[in-house]
Amino acid sequence: MPKTTIGKSLFLDGELTGKDGLIIKGKLNGNIKVEGSILVEKDAIVKADIHANNVKISGEVKGNISSTGNVHYMEDSTVTGDTKTSRILIEDGATIKGSVHINI
């Protein structure tokens, strides 16, 4: 379970790295690289490349996503960028512009 939360009223501009997971409820510009999981909640806006073990998106992401585990695009998600992962789940209603590469 992610330990750090970027709240709805917060805006982060820059590079974010770490071992723990992350929940994003606000806005983030830059790059994200964590060893844990990332959850982008429904009203969150992320303009960043994301590198993480598992990624679950309900909000908006503009950037490339690289996952060593699973990527889950929920029905309300909007993603513009390429995805590289081992496993992917795309729910009905998710919007994706970009390529998806599955690592086997």
Neighbours of 22 (CB within 10 A): 21
The owner of tokens 């390529």 is 99
Q: What is the pLDDT of residues 12-48, one digit of tens each?
A: 899 999 999 999 999 999 999 999 999 999 999 999 9
Read off the tokens for 4.
């750090």
Say if pTM beats, i.e. exceeds, 0.75.
yes
Of residues 93, 16, 14, 13, the one with CA closest to residue 57:
93
Instruction: State CA 91 to chain mean position distance.
Output: 15
Q: Convert the pLDDT of each residue in 46-70 to its tens digit.
A: 999 999 999 999 999 999 999 999 9
End-to-end CA distance of the chain: 26
Answer for the pair 82, 67: CB distance below 8 angstroms, yes or no.
Answer: no
Digit-coded pLDDT (tens) for 84-95: 999 999 999 999
